[in-house]
Amino acid sequence: MARRGKKPKGRPISGWVIFDKPVGMGSTEAVAKIKWLYFAQKAGHAGTLDPLASGMLPIALGDATKTVPFVMDGRKTYRFAVSWGAETTTDDTEGPVTRSSDLRPTRAEVEAQLPAFVGEISQVPPAFSAIKIDGERAYDLARAGETVEIAARTVTVHKLEIVSMDEGVTVFEADCGKGTYVRSIARDLGRALGCFGHVTELRRIRVGAFDEDDLITLDDLMDAAEEGLEELDQEAIDAGARPRVVRFEALDEFVLDAATALSDLYEVALSDDQAGRVLSGNPVLLRGRDAPAFCEEAYATGHGRLVALGSIDQGAFHPKRVFGGRG
C-alpha cells in the first residue's frame, strides 16, 4: 500500500519579497525570518549577502524559487566604502590587518586606476568567501588557520565609479556580473595604488530586475503583521511560535509576482484556455505576426501572473516548469 505524502506545512504563497537586509543579519537567518512571517511552504534567496553587508536580498517564496537561477545570473549593483592604508585577512573590517601604509591616494590617482577594473577582469576571490575548495567552504578553511589558495577567475565589471571621497575613505558604486567580489576590487585597487585598502561598508542596491524601489524592510513587514504579532511576546516569536492571527493580506501586498524576475526573457501572454493546456504540460501554438518561431528560454503568463517557464520551438510554446502556487 502506497504511503500518502505529507501535506506541505504552510501557505502555498508564491512570489518575491525584496528584503532590505540589515547589517548583522545572515542571509540564511533572513530567509528563515521571512518564511516564518509569511508562513510560506518554502523559501530561498538569490545570492548570499554577508552579515556585515546591508541591502537587497531577493527572497523567493513557494514556486518563485524556480526562478532563483535567473535572478542569480543577473547584474548586481553595490555601493561600498573603501578605507585606505590597511589590508586585512578578510578584505573587510572583520579580519586583522596584514599590511599597512601611511600613503593616501588622491581622487585623481584613484580615478586613473579604475579603467583596469572595468570590463572582463581576472580576480582572485577573498580567502574568506563561500567558494568551495575540495568540498569545503573557503571561509571555514581560513578560520581553521589553513592557507587558502583560490584560483583567479574571469568576472565582468560593467561600471565602477567614485561616489564620494573624504579623509582616506572612498565610496564607490559598482555594477557587476555574477561571481564578482567587491572586497577583491578593494584589495586589488589598494595594491595597485600602493596604499592597501579594505571594505568598511557594503550595500547591495540592485539585483537583476529588482531595484531600490522594490526594497522592503523588516520593520515595514512587522508593522503589516502587527495585529497578529501583538498576541505573542518576543521570546515566543524568536522560538518560532506562530500568532493566532496574522494580517496576511497586508503582508502579501509586498510580494512581487514571480514573473517580475524574468524581465530579460520573452513573455508569452496566454488566454485562459491556453493557460489550462500549459498547466497540464501541453504546448500551445503562438499566434501573431511578431511571435518568434524559436526561443531557447521564455515564460508564459495568464492575467499577468506566471504560468510556466519553457521554450519556443517551431512557433509553439513548450512548458518545462509550471507554476501552481497562489500569490
Selected residue with higher pLDDT from 138 and 214: 214
- Active-site choice (20, 50, 91, 92): 50
Per-residue pLDDT band at 298 (split at 50, 70, 90) = very high
pLDDT at residue 243 is higher than 90: no
pLDDT of residue 244: 46
- The pTM is what? 0.84
Selected residue with higher pLDDT from 204 and 129: 204
The vertex-252 CA angle with 249 and 257, nearest 5°, equals: 140
d(CA 327, CA 321): 17
- To the nearest 10°, the Cα dihedral for 112, 117, 120, 122? 130
pLDDT of residue 323: 86
pLDDT at residue 303 is higher than 50: yes
Is 50 a known active-site residue? Answer: yes
Selected residue with higher pLDDT from 262 and 325: 262
pLDDT at residue 234 is higher than 80: no
Residues 123-152 as b or e (16 or more Cβ within 10 Å = b): bebbbbbebebeeeebbebbeeeeebeeee
Selected residue with higher pLDDT from 39 and 163: 163
Per residue in 74-114, pLDDT (tens digit) is 999 999 999 999 999 889 998 899 999 999 999 999 999 99
pLDDT at residue 236 is higher than 80: no
Parallel, antiparallel or unpaired: strands 43-45 and 284-285: unpaired
Q: Name the nearest CA neighbour of 308 among 282, 287, 289.
A: 282
- With beta carbons less than 8 A apart as the criterion, state whether 20 and 217 touch: yes
Question: How confident is the model over 115-120, as a mean pLDDT?
Answer: 97
pLDDT of residue 237: 56
pLDDT at residue 7 is higher than 80: no
d(CA 6, CA 9): 9
Q: Name the nearest CA neighbour of 254 among 69, 44, 19.
A: 19
d(CA 24, CA 49): 10
Q: Name the nearest CA neighbour of 300 among 324, 322, 327.
A: 322
pLDDT at residue 130 is higher than 80: no
pLDDT of residue 172: 98
pLDDT of residue 100: 96
pLDDT of residue 113: 98
Cell of 319: 512548458
Per-residue pLDDT band at 277 (split at 50, 70, 90) = very high
Per residue in 10-68, pLDDT (tens digit) is 888 999 999 999 999 989 999 999 999 998 999 999 988 888 899 999 999 999 999 99
In 103-166, the DSSP E strands lie at 119-123, 132-133, 136-137, 153-166
pLDDT of residue 326: 42
Instruction: Give the containing element (helix H, strand E) for 45.
Output: strand 43-45
Q: Which residue in this structure is represented by grid cell 588622491?
A: 106
